[in-house]
Amino acid sequence: MKLTTKLAGLCAGLLLTATVAQAQGVSPRAQRLLFGRGADTITRTGVLRFGGADRYVIKLGANDNFSVSVDAGPNNNVILILWGQDGTVLISDHADASSWSGITPSTQDYYIDARAINGTTANYTLSVYARPITPAPPNQSIKRITFPPGTFASTVVGQVTAGNVNEYVLKANGGQRMLVSVAPTTPSDQGVVLSVVGADGTVLLSSMPGASNFSGVLPSTQDYFIKITGGGSIPTIFRLTVTVEPF
């Protein structure tokens, strides 16, 4: 009889300790989320009490389409906190947000906390969606620029018809300075317009100003696309020079 009483007391003490720890914000154990074969959505349900939290972790690649949401019904008393293993915060605990949708910044584990924002019992459903972005098929009309061994510059001579675009691409590293210039080969030509855009959509030089030169430090390691737009009403022969300075 005494042993039974002691065991009951011990169990009650452990339950109380776990409840207090949850209420005091002790980090919960992360549950690993895995997609089924061919699936791009995961759903989990849970119950939270006393301001507690459930933690989930999922491995995603860079530039994945990713969305996560939590539904706590009419009580609306569960929020999300979302961050990467490297410390990148996508939803802070001050945002009072119940959903997030965007592009993952890098390949890593992402942690999701579903947290009750008061002491009321919270029944929730967590929904996670992720799908890699399908890269665009290669454009055979885009010419890749390469540098001869031991050099950091390349010059291309081309011809663009009025109102059309010639496109070039080269790979360069974040932090390097790139210089691009384009000019007609003869003064009688009616000019060309330059623009520079990263593969991630970052516009380094828009075609709107009608510029023919660009100089700047590259924001990240990726392909950079250089577009030459023909001006006037006749074809223009141009000389394009690209320099990427070494570190």
Q: Is 38 left (phi over 0), alpha (psi -120 to 50) or beta?
A: left
Q: Torsion angle of alpha carbons 82, 87, 89, 93, nearest 10°?
A: 70
The CATH number that domain 28-132 falls under is 2.60.120.380
Task: Read off the pLDDT of residues 34-88 as tens digits, 9 standing for 90 and up.
Answer: 988 878 899 999 999 877 999 999 999 887 889 999 999 888 899 999 999 999 9
CA-to-CA distance for 5 and 1, rounded, in angstroms? 6
Instruction: Give per-residue pLDDT as tens, 103-123.
Output: 888 899 999 999 999 777 899
Number of other CB atoms surrounding residue 228 within 10 Å: 24
Within 10 A of 232 (CB to CB), how many other CB atoms are there?
13
| Whole-number pLDDT of residue 162 | 80
The domain locations on the chain are 28-132, 143-244
Predicted confidence band of residue 151 (pLDDT cuts 50, 70, 90): confident
Q: Give the residue among 150, 131, 142, 163 at the shortest CA–CA distance from 67.
A: 131
Single-letter code of the amino acid located at 160: V
User: What topology does CATH give the domain 143-244?
Assistant: Jelly Rolls (2.60.120)
pLDDT at 178 over 60: yes
Decide which of 14 and 115 is more confident. 115
User: What distance in Å separates the CA atoms of residue 145 and residue 113, rounded to the nearest whole number?
Assistant: 46
One fold for 28-132 and 143-244:
yes
Question: Considering only CA atoms, which of 157, 179, 181, 147 is closest in space to residue 245?
Answer: 179
